Amino acid sequence: MIFQKKIRTNTMALDATFWVAVSFVIFFGGLIYLRVPQKINDILNKLILDIKNEIDESEKLRAEAKILLDNAQNKLNTAQSINEEILDQAKKDSDRLIIELNDKFHKSSEIKKNSVQTKIAQMKDSAIKEIKNASVKIAVDSVKKIITTSVDKSKLDSLFEKNLDETKAELKKINL
Enumerate the domain spans of the chain: 35-175
Q: How far apart are CA 58 and CA 56, in angstroms?
A: 5
Q: What pLDDT is stored for residue 125 in this prediction?
A: 86
DSSP annotation string for 11-51: HHHHHHHHHHHHHHHHHHHHHHHTTHHHHHHHHHHHHHHHH
Q: State yes or no: pLDDT of 86 exceeds 90.
A: yes
pLDDT: is 37 or 65 the higher one? 65
Range picked from 40-44, 70-74, 160-164 for highest mean pLDDT: 70-74
Q: How far apart are CA 11 and CA 24, in angstroms?
A: 19
Q: Name the band, by pLDDT with cuts 50, 70 and 90, for residue 50.
A: very high
Q: 2-15: per-residue pLDDT in tens?
A: 545 555 555 555 67
- Mean predicted confidence (pLDDT) in 48-70: 94
Q: State yes or no: pLDDT of 27 exceeds 60.
A: yes
Q: What pLDDT is stored for residue 1 in this prediction?
A: 47
Q: What is the dihedral of CA 32, 35, 39, 45, to 10 degrees?
A: 70
Q: State yes or no: pLDDT of 113 exceeds 50.
A: yes
Q: What is the model's pTM?
A: 0.40
Q: State yes or no: pLDDT of 134 exceeds 70.
A: yes
Percentage of the chain modeled with pLDDT above 90:
34
- Mean predicted confidence (pLDDT) in 101-115: 90
pLDDT: is 101 or 146 the higher one? 101
What does the DSSP 8-state code read for residue 60?
H
Q: How far apart are CA 108 and CA 115, in angstroms?
A: 10
**Among the ranges given (23-27, 58-62, 71-75), the one the predictor scored with the smallest mean pLDDT:** 23-27
pLDDT: is 44 or 168 the higher one? 44
